[in-house]
Amino acid sequence: MNDLSERKIIQGIARQATRRPADLVKGIGDDCAVVRKGHGLVELWTMDTLVEGVHFDLSWHPPRLLGRKAANVNISDIGAMGGRPRFALLSLGLPRACAAQLIDPFLAGFQEALGEYEVALVGGDTVSAGERLLLSVTVCGEMREDQVCYRSAAAAGDQVWVSGCLGNAACGLELCRRGVAGQGEYAALLHAHLDPHPQVGLGALLAESGLIHAMMDISDGLATDLAHICAESGVGAEVMAGAVPLADELLQAANLLGLAPLPLALQGGEDYQLVFTAPVENNESLQTLCLQAGMKIFCVGRIVAGNRVMLRQDTGWRDITFGGYEHRF
């Protein structure tokens, strides 16, 4: 049986995607492709696909919130490079038994989320998809070329920051799976899984500030997404276990579920917070900038020489490189 990982497949695609037009600034390997637009501007292109039974379960995921999530996970990629989302394409693979009771609220949620960022739906496709609902979304954004934040700009000595508590979405998913989703005290965790909020405003603020080096969103867990930054930048990282921000609701729910909270934060994925690196001399300016904008950020570690992501715990160091979620085929 083949044991192909998502990373290996992407690497194989990248090896064959050798054509590089003059206006292509960045191709495969970041949150978005970057294409030069002229007058100092670039377009950002991203695409994501959600498959029923893999990325969502309609037995607990309301169609309107699924529509919002399908839009927001793509909008998050634009925000992760500091850009402004502008246009969207939507492709629907509809199962034979699909009814208007699903599609109408899904489209309402999708358009609702786009409207919050003034994104226009400009086209797409619809096909019959057998037994499972399949959703594929492309979003185009724009920004100044000299402000784009790539994964490849981290430098040894940088500190590693995240934009919020981690693990909420993974814990919310587990609450849904175990049928305890109706408990009101865990509303924030359920919201994180069912209706994630992309950090577009913060991403733009950080990109415009010039205070940071590398940035991406956390979709596959900090262990994997920080490893992507390290791989693209040719560095390693150290994460302090005690510095990873965990919400009180997560700690309570993890105890209820009999789960360790830290693995949820490092490996669970779908948080859609930002992870970014910045020189240590920018600490005070960075924190002041974010606090003035009403946003709190958390330092969780540092960039070092090497090529691994290491976790510091009371018991010593542990290698967590690419230890988050990954599709396998």
Dihedral (Cα; 166, 170, 173, 179), 10-degree rounding: -90
Kindly tell me if the per-residue pLDDT of 228 is higher than 70.
Answer: yes
Q: Check: CATH 3.30.1330.10 for 6-147?
A: yes
Q: What average pLDDT does range 9-20 have in this prediction?
A: 75
Q: Domain locations in the chain?
A: 6-147, 151-319
**pLDDT, tens digit, 9 for 90 and up, residues 23-54:** 999 998 899 999 999 999 999 999 999 999 99
**pLDDT, tens digit, 9 for 90 and up, residues 265-295:** 999 999 999 999 999 999 999 999 999 999 9
**pLDDT, tens digit, 9 for 90 and up, residues 317-326:** 999 999 976 6
151-319 shares the fold of 6-147:
no
> The pTM is what?
0.94
Reference 81, options 140, 130, 134, 38; nearest CA is: 140
Q: Which residues contact 11 (CB under 8 A, 6 or more apart)?
A: none
Residue 303 pairs with which residues in a beta bridge? 237
Can you give the three-state secondary structure of 64-112, one letter per residue?
HHHHHHHHHHHHHHHHHCCCEEEEEEEEEEECCCCCHHHHHHHHHHHHH
Residue 292's Cβ-side half-sphere holds a number of Cα atoms within 13 Å equal to: 9
**pLDDT, tens digit, 9 for 90 and up, residues 57-99:** 999 999 999 999 999 999 999 999 999 999 999 999 998 777 7
CATH (residue range 151-319): 3.90.650.10
C-alpha distances (whole Å) from 69 to each of 23, 62, 250 are 31, 11, 21
